[in-house]
Chain A
């Protein structure tokens, strides 16, 4: 019995080792790269006047307005269609305002929509490829025809972007797809960009947008918060980037590491399941030990039967 027990310990040690080593290996994050044709948006909070024309434009081009009849009961009573407080099933784009409680003259706006991450959590989380990142444009796309509705994408998004139609019998995920089926197709840019009267949000290639953000910061040193482009490094980089005069944390943007949690999670998973070697080794070892025990037991039983005893 000793030898097989040692065999098991060995197998267990291999499995445990693979599991235990993986957390150490996980931080080897890849360098951030964006394809030459990847698009995105640059939002300059210091230019935004908070008119919310982009919210209306987004609704007009991405929602069937007859859908107002299918509002959740609570929403028809309390909040009108156009007056949404957070990203939810009624909007893919929203303007929020920060105001310093002590100094009311200090305020700023922030535009919230999908950030179209370089290594998106939702895409990594989705078990059936209903969420995908377009390899050319970099747009994070959603296909409701595949989605099983597990809502792991909502759990995985560090920006809490994907919304769910909680009140619908046959619900789906609602999130910004950069107007890929609507305004981008017909007019070459997302409707929020097309509508913005002060060009606070502009559309273009990710590389061009980053250069433009850097140019604006260089033009007015110290004008923008920490001379920082939010989304340059955050979460491994995002296709939508922000510059603002106010601390991004105050604007409600999460403080994130320079790698994606998705990369972290995938590295661990792929270390454990590389070529399925660890599970296969575990299975073979377990089979071998279990078989050995079974043979021994059957043999003992036959011997007992010969002696006329019973097991």
Chain B
């Protein structure tokens, strides 16, 4: 039932120059995080009362979870649209998503100032359903758990190969039961990102005039959820290209079929973007806002070019580079909403992240890559390479 033969381990050793460098970056980030907890947020960041949210939220949470939407996008394609056709690709995407979300959560804990009060999220009398932040927080926590459950089959498989004993018998006992209910959990894993990815955009509606009119719109939820799908699809292309090169495996040509969904989602995103600008009467800002207009055009170019290119004939190389471009464009859109387009007034020094803030973010990216490499070498995560013409 749980199609073990679809997956293989990645070849290669655990300790290589690449993993060692990554580990050093991670160690440095942990040191930075430790320093923040014994000193203060002000001591490590350039944040101020006008710009209370910085790169940890803009990158680690907003962009990081969009990159982590590979699992979400693939799940929709695999379980809903195409009847399990691309099932072999799902595991690696789920692992990447799991780390993306777990690290976003960790980043939030480092960023929030009164972390010891977080238990209030689990006290029903403190629930505040008007708060978009409340919805995002609960949804992200729930989805991280869902991703861990979706990832469990790979772990149980490994445990089942152990020598007779507690782990083996537990794995053999749990695996078939999990297999039966997994589909209901997977469906939840498609519902939750739809909810919180849209809310990551809704968060900014309440900031009103502080967000530049080019990005402030009541369509933010719709733009963010379709942007998440777009970035999820792109990151799958990116991961497939990178893991076939990095692990020296044959390219997975299914990726190019999946890429066919990108122009459709992209066209939807663009349509909403245009509608939001026209309905809001904001066409003038496209040319009159100087730096912000320029950022708008860079963002739009980085999204439109790859969307158009994905509608043409694809090669693995082209798909890889266009996906990279789309990741940049989609990420820039989120960065523009969270930081670039945000201006509380002239009283505050415009925010630019400190070196330390960047180091933490780099460390988290390194941890994601490192964990992906190590887990795919320990567990059967990658799709089994197959002879040409398998589909």
Contact = CB atoms under 8 A, between A and B. Distances in A.
Contacts of A266: 130
A87 B49 contact: yes
A196 B45 CA distance: 38
A127 B137 contact: yes
Interface stretch (A18-26, A186-194, A219-227): A18-26
B315 interface: no
A16 to B, nearest CB: 7
A149 B83 CA distance: 45
Nearest to B134: A127
Interface stretch (B16-24, B25-33, B199-207, B298-306): B199-207
Given A20-B222, A254-B209, A1 B83 contact: yes
A293 B84 contact: yes
A146 B127 CA distance: 11
Nearest to A15: B194
Interface in B21-58: 37-43, 47-50, 52-53
B195 A279 contact: yes
Interface in A70-118: 72, 86-88
A148 B113 CA distance: 7
A160 B49 contact: yes
Contact of B42 (A20, A166, A296, A310): A166
Interface in B187-243: 187-188, 190-191, 194-195, 198-199, 202-203, 205-210, 217-219, 221-222, 225
Given A170-B114, A269-B132, A290-B186, A146 B218 contact: no
B78 to A, nearest CB: 9
Q: Is the interface of B mostly helix, strand, loop or mixed?
A: helix
A202 B126 CA distance: 34
Interface stretch (B115-123, B327-335, B369-377): B115-123
A269 B130 contact: yes
B207 A156 contact: yes
Contact of B205 (A130, A172, A265): A265
Contacts of B205: 261, 264-265, 268
A199 B328 CA distance: 57
A297 B83 CA distance: 8
B169 interface: no
B50 A269 contact: no
A150 B217 CA distance: 23
A128 interface: yes
Contact of B131 (A16, A87, A124): A124
Given A5-B81, A169-B40, A297-B83, A148 B115 contact: yes
B3 interface: yes
Nearest to A257: B208
B42 A167 contact: yes
Contacts of B126: 128-129, 146
16 contacts: A1-B82, A22-B218, A126-B131, A145-B117, A151-B53, A151-B113, A152-B131, A160-B344, A167-B42, A167-B43, A255-B209, A282-B194, A286-B190, A289-B80, A293-B84, A297-B84
Given A121-B208, A150-B108, 9 more contacts: A5-B81, A23-B217, A124-B130, A125-B133, A128-B128, A150-B112, A152-B133, A155-B53, A171-B40
Interface of B: 1, 3, 5, 37-43, 47-50, 52-53, 79-84, 108, 111-115, 117-118, 120-121, 123, 126-135, 137, 183-184, 186-188, 190-191, 194-195, 198-199, 202-203, 205-210, 217-219, 221-222, 225, 272, 344-345, 347-348
Interface of A: 1, 4-5, 8, 15-16, 19-20, 22-23, 26, 72, 86-88, 121, 124-130, 144-152, 154-156, 158, 160, 162-172, 252, 254-257, 261-262, 264-266, 268-270, 272-273, 279, 282-283, 286-287, 289-291, 293-294, 296-298, 310-311
